[in-house]
């Protein structure tokens, strides 16, 4: 991945809805992400949900794993296959 903004964009509203429907508080979700391979501070999760920041591929992959959803479910509709490949390559 080139330095700078990722070519994908997380759908913050969807991330929040999935997290809440799974019964995770911000803190518990960060801990679940850590168990999934990449710890995330609760304040950072909040920034992803509000669109203030975009997660790195490893964090995106951990969030999807913690929520038991495909990475694509966390992304904006304009997501494309090259973005998925970028996430997978950089999260390895």
Residue spans per domain, the chain: 12-91
CB neighbours (10 Å) of residue 32?
A: 19
CATH number for region 12-91: 1.10.260.40
Average pLDDT in the 39-64 region? 94
Q: Round the average pLDDT of the chain to a whole number and report it.
A: 85
What is the distance between the alpha carbons of residues 70 and 10, in angstroms, rounded to a whole number? Answer: 13
Q: Tell me the pTM.
A: 0.77
Q: Tell me how many degrees the CA angle 35-16-75 measures, rounded to the nearest 5.
A: 85
Helices and strands: H and E segment counts in the chain: 5, 0
Among 2-6, 58-62, 80-84, the range with the most confident prediction by mean pLDDT is 58-62
Average pLDDT in the 20-46 region? 95
| pLDDT at site 76 | 82
In this prediction, what percent of the chain has a pLDDT beyond 70?
Answer: 76
What is the distance between the alpha carbons of residues 36 and 76, in angstroms, rounded to a whole number? Answer: 22
| pLDDT at site 8 | 83
């Amino acid at each position: 991945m080139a330095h700078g903004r990722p070519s994908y964009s997380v759908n913050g509203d969807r991330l929040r809805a999935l997290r809440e429907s799974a019964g995770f508080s911000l803190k518990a979700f960060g801990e679940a992400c850590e168990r999934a391979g990449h710890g995330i501070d609760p304040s950072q999760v909040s920034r992803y949900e509000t669109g203030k920041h975009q997660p790195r591929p490893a964090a995106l992959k951990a969030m999807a794993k913690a929520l038991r959803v495909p990475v694509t479910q966390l992304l904006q509709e304009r997501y494309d296959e090259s973005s998925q490949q970028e996430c997978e390559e950089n999260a390895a």
